[in-house]
Amino acid sequence: MDHLALKLVLTPLLIGAASLAGRRWGPGVGGWLVGLPLTSGPIAFFIALRDGVSFAGAAAVGILAGTISQAAFSVAYGWLAARGGWRVCVLAGSLAFAVSTAVLERLPLRLAVVGPSVAAGLAVAIRLLPRDRTAAAWADVPSPPWDLPARMVAATGVVLLLTATAPMLGAQLTGLLSPYPVYAATLAAFAHRLEGPAAARAVLRGLLKGLFAFTAFFWVLAVILEPWGVGAGFAAASGVALAVQGASLWLIRRGER
C-alpha cells in the first residue's frame, strides 16, 4: 500500500498526543482536541497523494457534510448517557451516525450549502446536548495500561481501512464515513465508565465546539485543494483550523470553570 509507513507513524502519533493532552486538562478539552481532523485529515491527505486532488477535493466535501453525522452521534449519546451504559450509548450514537450518513448519501452535496448547514447543525447540537450542573472530573482518574495503545490502534485501523477502500466507495461516501468519531467515542466511553454520564457529556460538548475547526479545515480544503495543490492546500487548511480552534478554547475554559 502506498505511503503505508507514513500512515502507520503519523496517525498514532497524532492520536497519542491528543490523548495525553486530554488527560492533563480535562474531559471538555479532551473532546475539544479531537475536534481537530486528527483522523479525517490524514485520510484526506493520503487520498490526495494516491488518488489526486480532484478526488480528494470531492471527498473533502463529503467529510465536511459528515460533520452533521458526528453531531447526531453526540446528541444521541448525550441524551442516553443518564439512562444506559456506555455500550448502549455508543451503539445508539453509531446508529444515529449511520442514519445521518444514509440520508446525506442520497443528497447532492454542494459546498455552498454544506458549509453553512454544518455550522448551523453544530450550533443546534450544542444547544440540544443536556447540560450538567457540576463539572466532570478527569485528571485524577487512572486509565488501564492498554488504553492509550488501543486508541492508537483503532484510529490507525480506520485510516488504513478507509484509504484502502476509497476507490470502491467513491469520493462522497468515503468522505461521509471518514468523520465517524472513533476517537471521541472512545474518550466518551472511558469517561462514562470511569466518571459517569456528566464526564461523557463533557467530552461530547467539547467535541462539538471543537468541530468548528474541523469544519473550517475541510471547507478551506474543498475550496483550494485543486488549484493550490496538496502541500499548500493542506498547509492553508491547517492554519485556518488552528486559528479557529484557538479562538474556541476560551469557550471550553469558560464552560468548565
Compute the distance between CA of residue 43 and CA of residue 163 in angstroms, rounded to an integer.
6
Q: Which helix (H) or strand (E) holds 146?
A: none
More confident residue, 140 or 187: 187
- Give backbone dihedrals phi and psi of 39, rounded to 5 degrees, phi first: -105, -50
- Nearest 5 degrees, angle CA 86-CA 91-CA 93? 90
CA distances (Å), origin 250, targets 124, 125, 244, 246, 254: 20, 19, 11, 8, 6
Residue 254's pLDDT band (cuts 50, 70, 90): low
The reported pLDDT for the residue numbered 134 is: 57
> Could you give the C-alpha distances from 90 to 19, 57, 110, 119, in angstroms and in order?
19, 30, 30, 24
pLDDT at 139: 46
3 state SS of 4: helix
For residues 167 and 96, the model is more confident at 96
Distance of alpha carbon 56 from the chain centroid: 18
Does this model's pTM top 0.75? My answer is: yes
Confidence of residue 67 (pLDDT cuts 50, 70, 90): very high
Spacing of C-alpha 194 from chain mean position: 22
Which one is predicted more confidently, 255 or 5? Answer: 5
CA proximity to 237, closest of 64, 95, 110: 64
Kindly report which listed range (36-50, 134-148, 155-169, 236-250) carries the lowest average pLDDT score: 134-148
- When mean pLDDT is compared over 45-59, 152-166, 216-230, the highest value belongs to 216-230
Would you give the distance in Å from CA 234 to the centre of its chain? Answer: 17
What backbone phi and psi angles, to 5 degrees, belong to 157?
-60, -40
Q: Please, what sign has the CA dihedral across residues 247, 212, 93, 178?
A: negative
For the chain, what is the mean pLDDT?
Answer: 85
Residue 153, exposed/middle/buried by CB under 10 A (0-12, 13-18, 19+)?
Answer: middle
pLDDT at 151 over 60: yes
Instruction: Give the pLDDT band of residue 183 (cuts 50, 70, 90).
Output: confident
* pLDDT reported for residue 35: 83
Give the pLDDT confidence of 10-25 residue by residue, as tens digits: 777 777 777 777 677 7
* Per-residue pLDDT tens digits for 206-252: 899 899 999 999 999 999 999 999 999 999 999 999 999 988 776 66
Please state the domain extents for the chain.
4-256
